Amino acid sequence: MPYIPSAGELKTKPTQHSVRDLREIGIQPHVLLVRADRPIPEGERRKIALFCNVRASAVVQALDCRTIYEVPIAYHNERFDDEVLAAFGIDAPPPLDLSRWTQVVHRITKPDGETRIAVVGKYTVLKDAYKSLIEAINHGGIANNVHVEIKWIDASVFEAEETAITELEDVHGILVPGGFGERGSEGKIMAARFARERGIPYFGICFGMQMAVIEAARSLLGEKDATSSEFGPGGKPIVGLMTEWLKGNATERRSSRDDLGGTMRLGAYPARLTPGSRVAEVYGMTEISERHRHRFEVDMSWAPRLAKAGVTFSGTSPDGALPEIMEIADHPWFIGVQYHPELKSRPFEPHPLFASFIKASVARSRLV
């Protein structure tokens, strides 16, 4: 419902007209959830009920909340659940327990501390491109009862201005998310190097893992021409197009001559973790399943040389052909994953990698 400041009142006409249009095409609502930024007076709710042909109790105010996770509690307080039960004729519902939602809201609105995470990405102008990532980071904050401030940084800025890397000096963790194409890749490599050299917790996801491996090859192995074949011919491709992998009992094959459409390694795939590795400790198990969305992969033939430099692939596909996770053991927290853990994170069950990453970032914040 719109509020008109000059009149000092909420207007019901837009709601009435919306319901009228629905009824014209044969849809009669049982319950109306009316969005508003302030409480709706009882008289206005009765007016909406009268002109929209619903019970007054079925006009439920949906006020703005402090967090989206407070919405179920707010709707319950407005007796929305009673109206839904009445509409379906359910007389004896199971006992209601909103304690988990209450705990989540309490942790979000009254955190014990704060940490600052830099997200070095390519699409930072449009935050919705990272919506799943934002929520997973927040879930990590919930798990640690802290507020997470996200500092958005366009990776290409590091390429244009050498001093721009100082933007990372006041953060407690660096996350480099997925992306496609060469733009911003050097900036992401610079962010990975900054995190590795400064001992700042680093979390590389998909493209972010690949850039971390390229950075390690350049800095630790002396391979200055290390690159990805995604960026075109030339150099030494540490990362290349996957040509063959297992999907269930079938073998998927791709070629560089194929069209890009439908060529991704897409969906859930299993992985095996190295016992005793940091990532196995984070997960609490050695066999996992995660969701993927990529067509390029780190070349495993580089694994022995990287291992001697302290960069290990602590998670691989079951056949050992594809690297899934890289980590640096003598770093406070440096993990890169080829998959997208943010897609499996939930407010009640934060993904263990995000919970662990935020925990390491909190520890970092208390040192600086």
Inter-residue contact 202 to 173 (CB < 8 Å): yes
Instruction: Tell me which of 83, 206, 230, 331 is the catalytic residue.
Output: 206
Residue 89 falls in which region: left (phi positive, over 0), alpha (psi -120 to 50) or beta: left
340 catalytic, yes or no?
yes
Measured CA to CA, the distance from residue 349 to residue 47 in angstroms comes to 43
342 catalytic, yes or no?
yes
Inter-residue contact 79 to 45 (CB < 8 Å): no
172 catalytic, yes or no?
no
Amino acid at 312: T
CA 260 to chain centre: 25
Neighbours of 91 (CB within 10 A): 7
Measured CA to CA, the distance from residue 175 to residue 139 in angstroms comes to 15
Measured CA to CA, the distance from residue 115 to residue 79 in angstroms comes to 37
Inter-residue contact 323 to 311 (CB < 8 Å): no
CA distances from 258 to 239, 241, 261 (A): 18, 11, 8
Inter-residue contact 168 to 361 (CB < 8 Å): no
Give me the half-sphere count of Cα atoms (radius 13 Å) on the Cβ side of residue 145: 4
Residues 6 or more apart from 352 whose CB is under 8 A from it?
282, 283, 284
Inter-residue contact 121 to 179 (CB < 8 Å): yes
Instruction: Tell me which of 147, 292, 294, 340 is the catalytic residue.
Output: 340
Which residues participate in catalysis according to the annotation?
Answer: 206, 340, 342
